[in-house]
Amino acid sequence: MRRDVVVIGGSAGSHKPLAQALARLPADLAATVLVVLHVAPGGRFALADSLASSCALPVLAAADGARLEPGRVHVAVPDQHLLLDEGDLLRLSDGPRQNRVRPAVDALFRSAARWCGPRLIGVVLSGSLDDGSAGLAAIAAGGGLALVQDPAEARFPGMPTAALRVVPDATALPAIELGETIAELTGKPVTAEDRPSDPLIWETDMIAYGASKVLDRGVPAGLGCPECRGGMHVVRTGLAAHYVCHVGHSFSPQSLLAIRDDDVEGAMWTAVSSLQEKAMILDELMRQADTAGDPDAARAFRAESERAGRAAALLQEHVNRTMTPAARRGAGT
């Protein structure tokens, strides 16, 4: 058994470092390279073509059922998870989104960790939030090697920073050095690790097949899934944690926090709108009371309208001041 599979994941700002890393891979690389970048569902299959011009290896859009072959690069296509399956086969899946994206970095990393274990090298590139962290932790737990783009040079350092937080032994390198390092590390003999954990088997079954015979999903979290409202479990891998619902939707802590912040912001804007509408209706009642010659009722409606208007203004000011994109996402993402 040799180290012969490389999985690379990134999001915002990752195209350039990916191209730099691939450009340093030799034509006789003793490994298969699998790549997931977050792309829009309606995007075209152009990423493989754009990377091929600077890479000595064939760069292909991933195809369902393809077998791993050394010296090839397979790139995820829009709206399909790229997964590894038993027998070194690639699978494309429209299974549950992870961190609200498909393809997702963690989906590839965790499926590869299940089936390839110590044969793996995982690489996390530029991106926001913390997608890829749980997957890189699973790779490390299975005996694989972990690399990240140096956060200091990443356009969006959130993903590599989060990966280093949960896999502190990961090696951080400038993008231009990643390709040479990958080439040096591949082809080396490795020994088999223990059987993957039950939560890893359950989650990778769910995203690939939609069902699993494994019962252990992790520890009940007491949280509802933002996608389907089902109950979620927390899965811990080393220092990493992520949340998975009963159908397989998965969320990193930062992505789940961002979703909850969006929910809170939406609820607050709904409250602002309701208060403003309340004030408008009370103004109409005040006019009716004035016209009917009932000054006491008119004063009461006016006072209540003014209270609603002040509450709406204060709440709107609070939303504008605190619920900015930077505040929602946090520093360094």
Where in the sequence numbering do the catalytic residues fall? 11, 38, 131
Q: Could you write out the DSSP letters of every residue in 80-134?
A: SEEEEETTTEEEEE----BTTBSS-HHHHHHHHHHHHGGGEEEEE-S-STTTTHH
Distances (CA, A) of 257 to 129, 158, 251, 328, 329: 10, 14, 9, 8, 8
Q: CA 72 to CA 9: how far, in whole Å?
A: 16
* Whether the Cβ atoms of residue 298 and residue 254 lie closer than 8 Å to each other: no
Distance of alpha carbon 149 from alpha carbon 256, whole angstroms: 24
- Residues 81 and 92: beta-carbon distance below 8 Å: yes
Query: Nearest Cα to 325, choosing from 236, 252, 280, 265?
Result: 265
Partners of 245 in the beta sheet? 232
CA dist 302 and 287 (Å) reads 9
Q: Is 216 exposed, middle or buried (0-12, 13-18, 19+ CB in 10 A)?
A: middle
Tell me if 252 sits within 8 A of 134, measured CB to CB.
yes
Half-sphere exposure for 138 (CA within 13 Å, toward CB):
31
Task: Give the H/E segment covering residue 142.
Answer: none
User: Tokens at residue 294, please?
Assistant: 């009932």
The dihedral formed by the CA atoms of 98, 104, 107 and 109, expressed in degrees to the nearest 10: -140
Alpha-carbon gap, residue 201 to 294, rounded angstroms: 72
Instruction: Tokens for 8, please give them.
Output: 């690379």
